[in-house]
Every structure is written in structure tokens, then in C-alpha cells.
């Protein structure tokens, strides 16, 4: 089911091509988030391999 921008109105079904495009785009967005988090950790000198404190 594909929804409108306000998420209240059903505007039809997605075909296989649209589903594949959405999946690929979502994967790229997740990659961007992870990359930016790792870059931020590097800029802040966060040691991601250190054991958690607490």
C-alpha cells in the first residue's frame, strides 16, 4: 500500500519496480546515517572499540 504525504489517504498499490527502488533508496539512506555517525565519532575521538563504561 502506498500512502500520501499526510499518511491518511490510500493512493494505490506499489509494483515490484517501485518496491525495489524504495528498498534501494532506504539502504542508501541507512548507509549515509551509519557513515555520518562513524565520521562524527572519529571527529570527537570516540573509541568505538573500547569496552562500555558503566
> Quick check: 11 pLDDT over 70?
no
First to last CA, the chain: 45
Residue 7 is given by DSSP the state: S
Percent of the chain topping pLDDT 70: 78
Distance separating alpha carbons of residues 31 and 2, to the nearest angstrom = 24
What pLDDT score does 53 carry?
85
Question: What are the extents of the domains in the chain?
Answer: 14-45
- Place 52 in a pLDDT band, splitting at 50, 70 and 90: confident
Amino acid at each position: 500500500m502506498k500512502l500520501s504525504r499526510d499518511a491518511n489517504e490510500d493512493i494505490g498499490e506499489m509494483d515490484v519496480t517501485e518496491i525495489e527502488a524504495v528498498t534501494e533508496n532506504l539502504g542508501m539512506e541507512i548507509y549515509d546515517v551509519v557513515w555520518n555517525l562513524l565520521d562524527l565519532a572519529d571527529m570527537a575521538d570516540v573509541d568505538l572499540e573500547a569496552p562500555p563504561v558503566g
